Chains A and B, each alone.
Chain A
Amino acid sequence: MSSIDEAASICRHDVGQDALYPARALSLILQLQGAEGPPQLLDTLVSATEAIGAAASLYSVAIPDTEGKPFSFSLFACDPAFAHRQQQRGALPDHPWFRFARTHSSPGTDRTVQVEGPADQEALALAQQYGFTSCLIVPTAAGPDLHRVEMLCLGSRRHAAFEGEDARIVRALARSLAAELHDWVTRHLSASLQEAAQLQQIDITLLHLEWQGLGTKAISARTGLSPSAVDTRFQRLNYRLECPNRKASARRAAEHGLLESRD
């Protein structure tokens, strides 16, 4: 049996696909970048999830409270009842999958997720009802010095569906899917923040310099603005970004990916 055949067996079991599924899945993964908004991204994620052979998936980004307002963005490519019931249970960043993503850089399965109490057990039991009997969690690195946590979780109705050599193609596709979602979501968050806070290019430059640790005088020298103009601009920026100080504003911009293109 070829490696593709071996890996395809996992998918045939779930959704009856053939050995050509990796090409179809990859084609759908590549279509993610063309999504014009979260609804279309979710629609394509649902198709890609099915093409990979998974029963369900969830992609989520969380930016914790670091002097600014906590933020999370999630796509539930699964039965919507799971999304609603999970939201009723509490914040997704408290989920054991997310804890795994916060503490790991490599993918892991449900067998590697630590269960720390009854709340974790309830969360995982709920997920099992909606196609996450076994799961593969793919953490996505947000970048150095950032607190943002991202993860893709693929689910299967079979036990141990993502374990062993047989599932290596599925794991590779899942990593690819997570990376494409990361790129899209980073662009989306960055554009959303820029629009919501009405940031101009000079504002982004100031935030970038602040993120590098420069003080008012150094920023003034770099930008040609007077020191008082720098301070005034930061005061306005803090207000628009709903942050208490310029350090928090710069962190918020960085966590949303707004400063990435300038690194």
Chain B
Amino acid sequence: MSKRSPFAILRTTRPTAHPRDQSHRCQVRLVKVRSGVAAGRTTRHPTHTEWWTLFRSREQFETCAADDALRFRDPLLFTQIKAQLDDVFDR
């Protein structure tokens, strides 16, 4: 597999959990694909999980953000990701 991707990596962000609280640490990646924006989350503690979803519209993201208290309660992260998605869907 090539390491160079023709798809833009929109954002890679590391939310700031408490330094000693690794349970909520996760990395969020947003990648533009043909049919929308793929969002990948990777957590390393306590288990290593990686899962990907596809946002096909801004509304889908806002629905998830409203429902996902665990991750998007961080207002800075939410604003950053929303700005990136707005940029893609308004382009």
Contact = CB atoms under 8 A, between A and B. Distances in A.
- Are these two chains actual partners, yes or no? yes
B64 interface: yes
Nearest to A189: B50
A224 interface: no
A24 to B, nearest CB: 16
A37 B53 contact: no
B51 A70 contact: no
Given A36-B5, A43-B33, A43-B38, A84 B48 contact: no
Contacts of A47: 35
B15 to A, nearest CB: 15
B50 A70 contact: no
B64 to A, nearest CB: 5
B77 interface: no
Give the size category of A's interface with B. Answer: 20 to 34
Contact of B51 (A37, A65, A87): A87
Interface string B15-37: 00000000000000101011110
A88 B53 CA distance: 14
A117 interface: no
A69 interface: yes
Interface in B59-85: 60-61, 63-64, 67-68, 70
A69 B47 contact: yes
Give the size category of B's interface with A. Answer: 20 to 34
A187 B1 CA distance: 9
Contacts of A239: none
Contact of B5 (A37, A84, A87): A37
A39 B47 contact: no
B53 A80 contact: yes
B61 A80 contact: yes
Contacts of A39: 7, 29, 31, 33, 38, 40, 52
For the complex of A and B, list the 4 residue pairs with the smallest distance between their C-beta atoms, beginning with the closest: A39-B38, A39-B31, A80-B53, A43-B33
